[in-house]
Amino acid sequence: MGFGEDVEAVDGFQGMTVRVSVHMKKESNLLIGEHGNNLFALEHILKKYIRAKTAEEDVKFTLDINDYRMKKMEDLKQDVKTAAKNVRLYKKEVPLRPMSSFERRIVHLLLAEYPDITTESIGDEPQRRVIIKPYP
């Protein structure tokens, strides 16, 4: 792609998922794009390519550039913890920002272990969001 020596790829397995992490010294914003849109599109293309080459339909593959995704997940976890704390404290529901289905799934999974909190996805794409509520 013309990035030359600025790219370092690290691959590894996490469970049954192949994780490719690319570290770049410059120009990473081109590959990540606004709100990660280019990163997600590039990952989608790479998944299609890998599936075509391996004839494996259930390829689990993630691409991360300069730990963008990892940082986003940490930010999301922190936001969810803060929102859950507010729900517990004030006993009122807290709507989260609109997010992707993957992010919503993470929120539901993170809060599933809280017996006094429930979650619900509402709205239509692209404004679909999670509402965190006290358990009735």
Mean pLDDT of 36-62: 82
**Structural domain that includes position 9:** 4-66
Q: Give the pLDDT confidence score for residue 50 in this predicted structure.
A: 79
Residues 56 and 95 in one domain: no
Q: Predicted confidence band at 41 (pLDDT cuts at 50, 70, 90)?
A: very high
What CATH number is given to the structural domain containing 108?
A: 3.30.1370.50
- Report the percent of the chain where pLDDT is more than 70: 85
Spatial distance between the Cα atoms of 2 and 4, rounded to a whole number of angstroms: 5
- Does a cis peptide bond (omega within 30 degrees of 0) precede residue 126? yes
Residues 41 and 56 in one domain: yes
For the chain, how many structural domains are there in total? 2
Q: What is the pTM of this model?
A: 0.76
Residues 23 and 43 in one domain: yes
Residues 77 and 116 in one domain: yes
What CATH number is given to the structural domain containing 9?
A: 3.30.300.20
Residues 93 and 59 in one domain: no
Tens digit of each residue's pLDDT (9 = 90 or more) over 84-103: 999 999 999 999 999 988 89
Please list, in sequence order, all residues whose beta carbon lies within 8 angstroms of the beta carbon of residue 59, skipping any fewer than 6 positions away: 18, 47, 50, 51
Residues 56 and 106 in one domain: no
Please list, in sequence order, all residues whose beta carbon lies within 8 angstroms of the beta carbon of residue 100, skipping any fewer than 6 positions away: none
Nearest residue to 64 (alpha-carbon basis) of 83, 46, 85, 39: 39
Please list, in sequence order, all residues whose beta carbon lies within 8 angstroms of the beta carbon of residue 11, skipping any fewer than 6 positions away: 18, 19, 20, 21
Q: Are 117 and 87 in contact (CB under 8 A)?
A: yes
β-partners of residue 94 are: 132
Residues 40 and 92 in one domain: no
Q: Are 72 and 110 in contact (CB under 8 A)?
A: no
